[in-house]
Structures are given as structure tokens and as C-alpha cells.
């Protein structure tokens, strides 16, 4: 599991950028009352992906802190689950 952090770091940084890009797009679309909830969930996801990126970076810099890589992986999975919930909510709102 030692090389997992090398994959989590760039991917979580990319997902952070995706979250920060989608928030203003949803505001411009004027999705409705659920848009505010999706914005808040995506903002929370941004923080989760930031935590994942920081933890994976620290596990790369300090290999003796092996638990950080596992925590980065868990945070990344939670962030993906949050984005999936946002995608489902947005798709049902746009129907």
C-alpha cells in the first residue's frame, strides 16, 4: 500500500478543482432550492479532498508515518461518495 499516496495526491487535488469549478456552474444555472444544498455538499467535499491531499503528501514526505496513507485513502473515498450524492441530486433536479 506504500505507493497509493502517489496516486491519491494528484487525484484528490484534481477532484478538489472539480468541486471548486462545479460550485459556480451550479450557481449560474440557478438550479433551485436544492442547488444551495449541492453547493454546500461540494464545499464540504472540497475540504475532504484537501485533507486527503495533505495526508497523502505527508505520508510521501514521512514514510515512517504509514497510517497517514490509509487515512488519506479513507478521506478520498468519502469525498468520492459525497460527489456521487451531489451528482444524483443534481441529475434529479435537472429532470
Burial of 13 (0-12, 13-18, 19+ CB in 10 A): middle
- Tens of pLDDT along the chain (95 residues) come to 568 889 999 999 999 999 999 999 888 887 778 888 899 999 999 999 999 999 999 999 988 877 899 999 999 999 999 999 999 988 887 76
Instruction: Assess if residue 95 is contained within a domain.
Output: no
CB atoms within 10 A of CB 91: 9
Number of domains in the chain: 1
**CA 73/CA 94 separation, integer angstroms:** 32
* Residue 58 near residue 70, CB atoms below 8 Å: no
| C-alpha cell at position 3 | 505507493
In which domain, by residue range, is 65 found? 4-90
Please tell me the pTM assigned to this model: 0.90
Closest to 86 (Cα-Cα) out of 2, 78, 66, 4: 78
Instruction: Assess if residue 35 is contained within a domain.
Output: yes
Amino acid at each position: 500500500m506504500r505507493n497509493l499516496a502517489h496516486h491519491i495526491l494528484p487525484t484528490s487535488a484534481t477532484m478538489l478543482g472539480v468541486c471548486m469549478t462545479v460550485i459556480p456552474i451550479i450557481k449560474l444555472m440557478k438550479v433551485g432550492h436544492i442547488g444551495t444544498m449541492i453547493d454546500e455538499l461540494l464545499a464540504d467535499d472540497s475540504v475532504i479532498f484537501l485533507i486527503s491531499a495533505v495526508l497523502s503528501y505527508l505520508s510521501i514526505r514521512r514514510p515512517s508515518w504509514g497510517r497517514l496513507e490509509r487515512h488519506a485513502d479513507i478521506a478520498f473515498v468519502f469525498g468520492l461518495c459525497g460527489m456521487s450524492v451531489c451528482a444524483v441530486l443534481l441529475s434529479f433536479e435537472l429532470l
